[in-house]
Chain A
Amino acid sequence: MSVTIEEVEAAAQKHPVAPYLRMDRMPHIWCPTCGIGTVMKCYAQALEEADVDMDKAAIVSGIGCTGRVAGYMNLDAFHSTHGRAIPFATGVKLGRPELLVTVFSGDGDLSGIGGNHFIHAARRNMDLLVILVNNFIYGMTGGQNAPTTPLTAKSSTMPFGNFEEPFNLPHLAASCGAVYVARWTCLHTRRLTKSFQEAIDRRGFRFIEVIAPCSTLYARLNRLGSGFDLMRFYHDSAEIKHGADPKEVGIDFQDKIICGKFIDEDRPAMHERMDAHYKKVLGDKYVPMPPEGGWLHE
């Protein structure tokens, strides 16, 4: 049975998360069976389930395959520079504190070139929801080694297998002060959506790592089958251990992936701390930035 383009478009508009996406930008650029799209869909669904005011939500991405997510979300969206999504988002948040600001980017962007920003935003408990899609490789540039590539895995710049220790990202985030740290794979759609939703309602630096296949490069270079095979493999290799010590959740090549919510604390976010501190030390002299921002108008 053949379908017309019009029918496909009409069906797309009826998709439950269509209002959360820029449907005029579909189809997206991701390869078939890439895991990123699923993560974006879960995020869109979480926005709906958390009843987020979309006019008061902004999303910031860096550069890379996951860096394209901002461009597909129907929010105020910023596709910034490589590695700088977190400091860019810090500016958006502090410039207009009432906004819900999400950073959505990849492992290379946030933990490689942007690693310094990542640890400092976690340290100061910046009020950001940081979603990191980890596919263990640089996808957009052609499969180069990442700070997350597991030992022995092949990449286009480690053609004989990676011999550098990778980051354990939940451990990194937790040790720098993140108040919410979780990890899922992209096929854990229900749990992932719930985790996004939960994190949306928290304050401070919230970090969610999502393990997803890069079908075109990581799967091919390592002969791991199709993206879908790998997606299923990740899902089936997951061991859910809520409250696990983040130190113990490092990932080895094609081995078990510990998932779950590792940290969930409530501490004031940076701007709340700033506010409380100035109120205390400056008293009536303190004039806080209004929630709608420090912009000047008549």
Chain B
Amino acid sequence: MKADPAGVLTGAHYLDGDFACGEGAMAAGCRFTAGYPITPSTEVVERISRRFPMMGGTFIQMEDELASMAAVVGASWTGTKCLTVTSGPGFSLMMENIGLGAMMETPLVVVNVQRGGPSTGLPTMTGQADMMQARWGSHGDYRLIALSPQSPQESFDLMIDAFNLSEEYRVPVLFMMDECVGHMTEKVVIPPADEIEIVPRKLTDKPPGEFLPYKANGNGVPEFARAGDGYRFHTTGLTHDERGYPVMSAECQEELIPRLINKITDNVDKISRFDEENTDGADVVLVTYGITARVARMGIDMARKKGVKVGVIRLIVVWPFPEQHIRDLASKIKAFVVPEINLGQMVLEVERCAGGKAETILVPHAGGGVHNPQDICDAILRAAK
């Protein structure tokens, strides 16, 4: 369906990434947001709380991030599209109910405007060190989807994709921004509502007596019933059967958990998104995401001037990781170079997929700033040798 015009601020604007992210959520149809203030993400909910009352949306500032996350899982069960927004320390607190969202198969979006960590770290300065937390942060086995925008424009555009993916696969989608993108102000073009495609909640058309809340369709994703529509369903964070009833057995676990994982892994090709440039015939391929993808441009140009054939994979959907593509590339190139604002996270994934067929070189940055492009260039030159 098309976006509700009430949430779409059509036109060309000069916005920072946080504001653009908020606009993206509203354009995507988000009408419930719960949040707790935390730098550098708070502008997202400030934007939303100012605009929601004019479009039938409700914002509530909760007492902490545990509550914010629990509230959006709850609200999503009314069919309302939901968002919560945070940064590192809050992201840690949200892990509990992100797991609940995964287990209950609840569509919603969580924004993490990453800052330097661990702990309180560098509240006002950038980082990309929560990437593995986005993959593994809550306990147990599950798979989610994570996206990473590189600009305010993408903070808007990808927010729509994030909501749509969450509806399509009934999972929490993690929106992994960083402080730089969040606080950078650029031109953001918001299209008319009728040019924005929205995936609505996939409500079941079965009558209450016949509906099983956790019976998956061909895609591995169950149909949805909203609270208040007479289905009187039951949902739980416990291991459950198709009726949503707890079943404490290894057999039920074996039915449920692989399905939660397979609905993502079986659809990697549909979910995956990355920009690919000059990888054909490249000696070195840079794998990058978020703000670092932009910083790396200069390093790549410098290396190209020295005659190195450099290709780029810019991850847009970070999780699920495009394993097969990296594997295929590995046998054709000398090395991968992975710059990131952490001391080695997504590089582990690249290295795993490269499987020893190509060298993998990390260009680390401990956080608080972005890379010096010279360091990226040097790593590319080293890799090309």
Contacts and interface: CB of A to CB of B under 8 A. Distances in A.
Given A76-B228, A99-B227, A60 B74 contact: yes
Contacts of A88: 70-71, 73-74
Given A81-B97, A94-B58, A285-B54, A295 B79 contact: yes
- On chain B, which size bracket covers the interface? 35 or more
Contact of A117 (B67, B96, B233, B246): B67
A55 interface: yes
Interface string B140-180: 00000000000000000000000000000000000000000
A247 interface: no
B77 interface: yes
Contacts of A80: 70, 73-74, 100, 237
A161 interface: no
Interface string A49-89: 00000111010100000000011001111111101101111
A285 B64 CA distance: 30
A81 to B, nearest CB: 5
B63 A116 contact: yes
A71 B235 CA distance: 8
Contact of A91 (B32, B63, B66, B233): B32
Contacts of A293: 78-80, 226, 228
Contacts, number: 184
A286 interface: yes
B64 to A, nearest CB: 6
Contacts of B6: 287
Interface string A254-298: 000000000000000001001000100010011111101111111
A96 B71 CA distance: 12
Contact of A94 (B4, B75, B201, B232): B75
Given A88-B70, A282-B53, A71 B77 contact: no
B282 interface: no
B252 interface: no
Contact of B54 (A58, A84, A287): A287
Contacts of B74: 60, 78, 80, 87-92, 95
A60 B237 CA distance: 12
Given A94-B32, A95-B82, A76 B231 contact: yes
Interface in A81-138: 81, 83-84, 86-92, 94-96, 98-99, 116-117, 120
Contact of A99 (B53, B68, B73, B228): B228
Nearest to A61: B236
Contacts of A99: 78, 227-228
Given A22-B234, A295-B78, A289 B31 contact: yes
A111 to B, nearest CB: 15
Given A80-B237, A116-B63, A274 B232 contact: no
Interface string B71-98: 1111111111110000000000000110
Given A78-B77, A292-B228, A94 B60 contact: yes
B71 A87 contact: yes
Contact of A79 (B4, B54, B238): B238
B76 A25 contact: no
Interface of B: 1, 4, 6, 29, 31-32, 34, 53-58, 60, 62-64, 66-68, 70-82, 96-97, 100, 198, 200-201, 226-238, 245-246
27 contacts: A54-B232, A71-B236, A76-B232, A77-B234, A79-B236, A79-B237, A87-B70, A91-B34, A91-B71, A95-B32, A95-B58, A95-B77, A95-B78, A96-B226, A117-B67, A271-B58, A274-B58, A282-B53, A289-B58, A292-B228, A294-B57, A294-B80, A296-B31, A296-B81, A296-B200, A296-B201, A298-B1
Interface of A: 22, 25, 54-56, 58, 60, 70-71, 74-81, 83-84, 86-92, 94-96, 98-99, 116-117, 120, 271, 274, 278, 282, 285-290, 292-298
Top 3 A-B pairs, shortest CB-CB distance: A91-B74, A294-B31, A95-B78
